Chains A and B, each alone.
Chain A
Amino acid sequence: MDVVVDNLDVFTLGMRTTVSLTLLSFAVAFVIGTVVAACRVSPIPPLRFAGALYVEAVRNTPLTVLFVLFFFGLTKVGIKYPPFTTAIIVLGGYTGAFVAETVRAGINAVSQGQAEAARSLGLTFGQVLRIVVLPQALRTVVAPLGGLFIALIKNSSIASLIAVEELVFLTDDLANDTARAIPIYLGAAVAYLLLTIPSGFGFGLLERRVAIKR
């Protein structure tokens, strides 16, 4: 294992990139997810359709394929982003589809009477959603969102495919460099656990903090 200890700086560098990649794409995913979920429950049919189309198209495509299409494909029509930006767009967009479905489930869990009461007070659909329904819906889906966050940490490794120098990218490089693949990949596994397990705890804590006391 000394080969791992000798290269701790490489692992920490990789973890730092993985963390920033995850946080930024989760922020993107949260915004996309909430907007798409709102579209899917809105009373306007074209919006409902667009939301459903987005979720189904993105959720049913392998992430690897999306990465290659965005990175190599879009340049063919003149759109060219650097690897890190591409990774945030793809990871955020992909996870956004899952967040949308999770948030929609949360919205459906808020009892119908809440929305009806809000409407009878004269609130518009947007206001009902923003002020009454979403705050309650999001509280109930903290745990599944935590699951998506952890999945995102691991999914971010696919960004190594387009030369984003995150944890798996540097691990691959190191394994080849040192000719000791097994200890190096064990080191990478531990590094991911150091990120995912505290994330799980964090979301657990958040869930208890925001729970509606009944």
Chain B
Amino acid sequence: MIKHTRRTVIALAVGVALMAAACGSDDSSTTTTTEADGTTTTQAAFEEGSTMARIKEAGTIKIGVKFDQPGFGLKNPTTGEVEGFDVEIAKLIVEAIGPDVEIEFVESVSKNREPFLQDGTVDMVVATYTINDTRKQVIDFAGPYFVAQQDIMVKADDTSIKSVDDLNGAKVCTVKGSTSEKNLLAKAPQAEVTLFDTYSQCAEAMTDGRVVAVTTDNTILAGLVDASDGAFKLIEAPFSDEPYGIGVKKDDDAFRSFINDRLEEIFESGDWASAFESTLGAIGLKTPEPPTIDRYTETPPAPTTTAAN
């Protein structure tokens, strides 16, 4: 069953890649379309010194993605390829820089995303990266390209937890340092929180009865439910929005608005939806409406909370 699903995902991913490639060449033969703001999306029209021009010149781009997040960025151990929605979005963006640009995917875990962008290890990060004001102090976000919602996963036979309020006084697991942890404590301050490094450990802890619920973005939970063979279920009572953005170096406004333009293009063309269907759709998520791009112009003030908890 699992093997079958994986094969389907690969087949779909290959299909999308081929389609994307086809669309790409199609684009280059027809495009000299001028955008509303006067910039053309034709390749090789990049301004001298811009990030896009540098990448096109070099012919390679380094992109930070997760290697362990089913549905978004997961390294396939047999092929060595990284697969998922984030990966597809990254490919669609790079395609607009130049069809020949080679992508090198670099594994980015939550804690090295900002340093990687700051020191230039990667040119952009597409890694289930929630947009927030703390992060905007040190890097900038294009997007959002997806809005996840925080939900709750329980054992399939559990009927006691119906909403986030029921988590008060309950043993709940999430991943440390995540926005899920902060949202949980804001919405259910009396929850007894256990924090692990990975969600699979949370799932294990729930199997063992150490916790009664796991909470984080519905997209991640869907993957765990899918893998649990019916042992877990989602309660489908979302209590927060998590806009996923594309991280770029701070103040690289030209690159940021280039990515934003491209995102709107793929929202419009349907490439975004097919990327979703072939990846997250394959683990049971319904394709949503594309989100609205947030073209902020000023860095918001830093939030005052500093404590770890």
- Measured CB to CB, the residues of A under 8 A from B are 3, 6-7, 9-10, 72, 75-76, 80, 83, 160-163, 165, 169-170, 172-182
Please list the residues of chain B having a beta carbon within 8 angstroms of any beta carbon in chain A.
110-112, 114-115, 134-135, 137-139, 176-178, 194-197, 201, 204-205, 208-210, 306-309
Contact of B115 among A83, A161, A178, A181 (CB under 8 A): A181
| Cβ 8 A contact of B308, one of A10, A80, A179, A182 | A10
B197 touches A161 (CB 8 A): yes
Residues of A within 8 A of B112 (CB): 181
Cβ of A78 to closest chain B Cβ, rounded Å: 10
- Residues in A neighbouring B194, C-beta threshold 8 A: 83, 163
Q: Could you tell me if B307 and A10 are in contact, using CB atoms closer than 8 angstroms?
A: yes
Q: A7-B308, A172-B176 are in contact. Are A182 and B197 (CB under 8 A)?
A: no
Contact among A7, A76, A163, A172 for B111, CB-based, below 8 A: A172
Q: Judging by beta carbons under 8 Å apart, are B204 and A72 in contact?
A: yes
User: A174 contacts which chain B residues (CB < 8 A)?
Assistant: 177, 308
Answer whether A169 and B306 are a contact pair too, CB < 8 Å, given A178-B134, A181-B112: no
User: Assuming the A-B contacts A6-B306, A80-B210, are A173 and B177 also in contact, with contact meaning beta carbons closer than 8 angstroms in the complex?
Assistant: yes
User: Which residues of chain B come closer than 8 Å to A177, judged between CB atoms?
Assistant: 134, 177, 306-308
Give me 14 A-to-B residue pairs in the complex whose CB atoms sit less than 8 angstroms apart, sorted by A's number: A9-B307, A72-B205, A80-B208, A169-B195, A172-B176, A174-B308, A175-B111, A176-B111, A176-B178, A177-B307, A177-B308, A179-B135, A179-B137, A181-B115
Closest CB in chain A relative to B100 CB, distance in Å: 34
CA distance A57 to B194 in the complex (A): 31
Contacts of A80 in B (CB 8 A): 208-210
Minimum C-beta distance from A142 to chain B (A):
36
Write the nearest CB–CB distance from A43 to chain B, whole angstroms: 44
**Are B115 and A176 in contact (CB-based, < 8 A)?**
no
Return chain B residues, CB-CB under 8 Å to A176: 110-111, 176-178
